[in-house]
Each structure stands twice: as C-alpha cells, then as structure tokens.
Structure 1
C-alpha cells in the first residue's frame, strides 16, 4: 500500500513538472530529458514511472481532467438549489478560472494530439465524458431542487459544452477583462441561461 502511494506521488510530481516545462517551452518541445532536468533527476528515474513520452501525455491528460473537474465540482458553486446558484455555475464555466487551473496553450496542444494518437484520443474522449457527467449531475441537482424543469438533461449538457468549448477558444483571443472580452462572455452566459426552463 505504501509503495503504491509513493508511486502515485512520484508520478504526480513528474506530470506537474512535465506541465511546467510544456507551459514554458511548448508541449511539442517538452521531453523526458527536459522533465528530468526540471526536477534535477535522471532520465532513467522519469522512465521508471513513464516508459514513453506517450505515457506521460496520457498522465498529463488525466491531470487536465482533475484540474477542470475542480471548476465544475468546486464547493464554490455550492448546491445548485436556486436560480442564482445555477447562474453562478454557468458564469464559472465561461470564466477564465479554467486558465488559472490549466494553461490554454498546453490544453490546445493536447487537444491537437487527438487527431494523431489513438490512445490519446481515447483518453481525451474519456476526459470529456467525465466532465459532461459532472455537469449533468449538477443539472439533475438543479431539477431535483425545482430550479429548472428541462427534461433531456443529457442533450442540454452536450449543447452547453459545445457553447463552452467554442466560447473558450474564441475568448482566448481577447485580453481578459477587456470590454470586448466581457461583452462576449456575457453574451454566452445569457444565451446559455436561456436554455433553462424555470420550474
């Protein structure tokens, strides 16, 4: 048990270092050797935990999932038992909080890999499915509390994520908190809220 815990801790340290290197020099330039340099350890020690760079990429993808899950499942959102709390959840989904948890440049570099690496495609799809499940659970909670009365929450979740993905990509081109940025963000939030039917 102790050995497994130590392995998990060391793997997480390596993934975090991989992320730091990728953020600094770009994912395409991040290598096992550069991660080892970042950590002040040997290449062999990194490869003891991740045999290949592809394995490290899968680990990085899981790290993305963990960080993004924090936004949706965060206690900051509280229980979705009022319209105001539902709106706060939606605002958080469209906010730059995502960027505080994970760098856009690294995220989109990871995203590009789904077209070239089958294992990564499967891992990324699993990551998206888990995010969708967490949001759907929040919407189920809102419906259980009588906040909304939408019936097909699975379909609604898909539509909201399509809006978030497109909006987030586009918002990345604006300076955060600029007038243009805030205008677009409010537009997306308003239209997302219009998808909900009040109970």
Structure 2
C-alpha cells in the first residue's frame, strides 16, 4: 500500500476542519473563509483543493459515510460464530455510533438526498453495503445451522430498518438514561428476531 500524497493529506485536514466547524455552527453557517480562519491559512489554499463549498460538501458527505462504516467492520473471509454475531449487534446498538459522526450533519445531508440524486446515491451505496455485509454473516451462520432464518437477506434488511428508525428517534432524545434504556430494548428486539438469547 502506497503512502498518501501531501495533496491527499492536506485535503483530509481541510475536510476534518470543515466537519468540526460545521458540527459547531451548522453546515449552512460554515464558509470556506471560516474554515481557513480556524486553520490559520489563506482561503485560496482551500480553493486550490476544493473549487467551491459544494465540492467541499461532497467530500464531507463521503467523510461522514466512511465514519458511518467504521462501526461495522467485517471480514468477509472469517467464519463467524454466535459470539461474533453478539459483538456485531452490540456494536450496531451502541453509543460508539453517535461518537463517530454528528447526527445533525448526517441527517441534514440525508434530507438533501430527497432533492439531490448524487447525495442519494452516496447514501444508497453505503446503506446497501451494510445490508449486504450483514447478509453474508447471517447466511454463513445459517449454513452452519447456528441460526434458523428463512431469509437472511430479509432479516438483515429488517435489522437496518429497525436501526435507522431507532437512531433517528434516539438522536432527538436529550435524556441519556432514557436513550440508553430504549437502545437496550431495541437490541433485545433484534435478539428476538434472530431467536438468540443474550
């Protein structure tokens, strides 16, 4: 694997600061000038790498979606057992998810996907990838008769439908104790769906 070029490193730095500023003051209030000020550089340097705020937004969405994937790293070659499946479910229904990316930005761009086909395709690609990966794990467990699922692909889809709804709802709840309690209840529902015990 080759080393990253200075250009790639610089672009990543800009995207990360753009993310931090957008997270703090909102995407609509963030400008190239404000990002440059935080970085203590001339705005023209950012424009050298990103011709417009729109280009920077595209890179930011990619960055957010890449972070979204971090919670769900799976080795396609590995023979997963029930212990690993429990670990996957625990990762999916955990607070780590919230620490990886900002809900307001994630759902703000998600809302834009209804008007912007390019953004929509980015979200569809990532979400389909997650479903596909979980389907592979559930199928392998089914083949080893560790699970008895009629349709692993449908089950994986149901888990992500449940997960998407749960996280959107929980992102609106300020009381952390209630959010944690509900998250654990949702996790139990998934164990029931998979006919597993904790």
Q: TM over 0.5: same fold?
A: yes
Preserved CA contact (<8 Å) 1:36 1:43:
yes
Greater helix proportion: 1
Structure 1 residue ranges without an equivalent (≥5): none
Using structure 2 for the length normalisation, give the TM-score: 0.84
Preserved CA contact (<8 Å) 1:15 1:56:
yes
**Residue 70 (structure 2) aligns with:** 70
Moved over 6 A (4+): none
> Residues 170-189 of structure 1: matches in 2 within 5 Å?
170-175=169-174, 177-178=176-177, 180-189=178-187
**Residue 115 (structure 2) aligns with:** 116
Root mean square deviation of aligned Cα: 2.6
C-alpha distance 189-172 of structure 1, shift in aligned 2 (>3 A)? same
> Residues 72-87 of structure 1: matches in 2 within 5 Å?
72-73=72-73, 80-82=80-82, 84-87=83-86
**Residue 105 (structure 1) aligns with:** 104
Using structure 1 for the length normalisation, give the TM-score: 0.84
Preserved CA contact (<8 Å) 2:93 2:184:
no
**Residue 42 (structure 2) aligns with:** 42
Preserved CA contact (<8 Å) 1:90 1:189:
yes
Does residue 26 of structure 1 match 2:26?
Answer: yes
Structure 2 residue ranges without an equivalent (≥5): none
Per-residue Cα deviation, 1:55-89 (whole angstroms, up to 9, x for no partner): 211211211122121111179xx96312x432232
